Structures are given as C-alpha cells and as structure tokens.
C-alpha cells in the first residue's frame, strides 16, 4: 500500500478544522469522492499510508464492521485487510469515542501510543502488517463507525489527535447524510457493475460494452440493471448521473 500522493488532493483547497470538514458551503453537493479527498488530507497530516471508513451495524445485527470507503476508492481494497470481526472493537465503537491504536504485529518494542498520546486505548492489531490508529465516530439516527488510519510512520501530537478526531466526526456526519439520501449505497456495487456504468457514461452501447469486457450482451444488461436497482434509479441515464454525483465513477 503506497502513501497517498499530494497529486490526489487539491493543494488550493483549504484544510478543514474541527467541525468544518467542508469549509466551502457545507455538505450540499458533496460526493464520496470529496470525502475520499478529505481522508487523504488527514492521512497526509499524520503520515499514514492508508485509510478506511467502516460502519458499525445496529446493535441487533452481527458485530461486524462494514466497509464504506477507503484509500482504494472507487473500489474497496484496504478495508479487506482490516480485521472487521473483532466484536469488542464493534462494541467499543457503539459505546465510546475513545481512539484506538495498535503497534505492528510482532513489534514488542512499541508499547506506547504515537507521540505518547493520552486518552487512547491500545488494542490488538486491526491490520496485520501495519501500525495504526482508529477513531470511533457517531452521527444522527444512532449511526456510528470507525475511521482507520494505518502506517508504520504515523505521528501526531495530542492537539492533532483532537483535531483529526473532530474532522473525522464531521466527515462521518456528511457521509451519513449521503447514505441516507441514497439508500442504494447500502448495497455494495461490484467491480463489473461499476465498469459497465462507467462505459455507459462514456457513450458506449450494451453491445460495445460486451465486446470490450468480453461479456455477453445479456450479462452486460444484467449488470446495468443491477446497478440501477442498487442506486434506486429508474433508468440507466439516472443511474449514471447518480454514480457520477456520488463519486462511484469519474
């Protein structure tokens, strides 16, 4: 996993501070791509190599963190390396806002949090081959999640810990509003569905997409139909428009 590159963020965009992750007019018109860019800023600020936002399910459901977005956007990659089945972590996310940190697996020499931070709890590694820190976040309607940053070079002061956590809270509130406005996002889009949508956005017909992806026309149409259903769209055109606005395709 490579460290986020500065080319992936806009250097002219103001940095966000506590409670102001979207400094130019709130969350109206916000896309998941915007959220990812803000995550990249935070990752750069603390020298993290990768990040992921995971969602905690309602209390009555299985205690497993569900990927929402990560540093491999528009796909989900880094999230798959995170131990999402840790029940005590899910319970912590549901009941506390105290940050969690871990050292690299097998690194017995690292017994203190980065920068000797206070108000953090040490846990067993969420990512096997990297150190990291994770921030529980909460939003309206009892929604909660975990913002994870990983990297052996992570460094942050106590003041930065509070600042990053505040920015994570604000980002999660904005992402939660996107998800509430778009129920289809709760069902993950597959790689093939995204490929077919992107090619449709570029003006290709089903027959042309089928040839490019080496699929049958029937399968191509099936992927496009599933995409529209997941995005709660009434047509391919509306599905493409929603996918573009949400940052699922570019």
Position 60 pLDDT exceeds 50? yes
**Whole-number percent of the chain with pLDDT over 90:** 38
Query: What are the pLDDT digits (tens) for 106-160?
Result: 554 455 566 578 889 999 899 988 999 999 999 887 889 999 999 999 988 999 9
Q: Which tokens hold the place of 122?
A: 């040490």
Measured CA to CA, the distance from residue 112 to residue 103 in angstroms comes to: 9
pTM of the model: 0.65
- Structural domain spans, the chain: 6-181, 185-246
Mean pLDDT is highest, among 32-36, 93-97, 146-150, for 146-150
Q: At the topology level of CATH, where does 6-181 sit?
A: Beta-Lactamase (3.30.450)
Measured CA to CA, the distance from residue 248 to residue 177 in angstroms comes to: 16
Measured CA to CA, the distance from residue 41 to residue 186 in angstroms comes to: 25
Domain boundaries 185-246, CATH class: mainly alpha
In eight-state DSSP terms, residue 139 is E
Position 4 pLDDT exceeds 50? no
Whether the CB-CB separation of 127 and 135 falls below 8 Å is answered with no
Selected residue with higher pLDDT from 53 and 88? 53
Q: Residue 15's pLDDT band (boundaries 50, 70, 90)?
A: very low
The pLDDT of residue 231: 79
Q: Which tokens hold the place of 247?
A: 């940052």
Which three-class secondary structure state does DSSP give residue 69? strand
Query: What are the pLDDT digits (tens) for 224-235?
Result: 998 888 877 888
């Amino acid at each position: 996993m490579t460290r986020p590159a500065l080319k992936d963020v806009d250097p002219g965009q103001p940095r966000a501070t506590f409670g102001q992750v979207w400094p130019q007019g709130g969350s109206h018109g916000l896309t998941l791509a915007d959220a990812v860019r803000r995550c990249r800023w935070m990752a750069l600020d603390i020298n993290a190599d990768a990040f992921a936002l995971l969602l905690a399910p309602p209390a009555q459901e299985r205690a497993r963190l569900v990927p929402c977005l990560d540093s491999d956007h528009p796909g989900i990659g880094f999230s798959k390396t995170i131990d999402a089945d840790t029940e005590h972590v899910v319970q912590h996310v549901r009941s506390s806002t105290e940050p969690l940190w871990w050292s690299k697996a097998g690194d017995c020499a690292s017994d203190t949090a980065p920068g000797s931070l206070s108000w953090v709890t040490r846990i067993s590694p969420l990512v096997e081959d990297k150190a990291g820190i994770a921030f529980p976040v909460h939003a309206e309607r009892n929604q909660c999640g975990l913002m994870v940053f990983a990297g052996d070079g992570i460094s942050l002061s106590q003041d930065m810990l509070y600042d990053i956590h505040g920015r994570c809270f604000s980002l999660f509130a904005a992402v939660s509003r996107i998800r509430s406005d778009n129920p289809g996002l709760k069902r993950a889009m597959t790689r093939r569905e995204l490929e077919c949508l992107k090619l449709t956005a570029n003006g290709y017909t089903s027959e042309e997409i089928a040839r490019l992806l080496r699929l049958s026309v029937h399968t191509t149409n099936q992927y496009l139909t599933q995409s529209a259903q997941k995005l709660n769209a009434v047509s391919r055109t509306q599905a493409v428009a929603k996918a573009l606005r949400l940052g699922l395709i570019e």
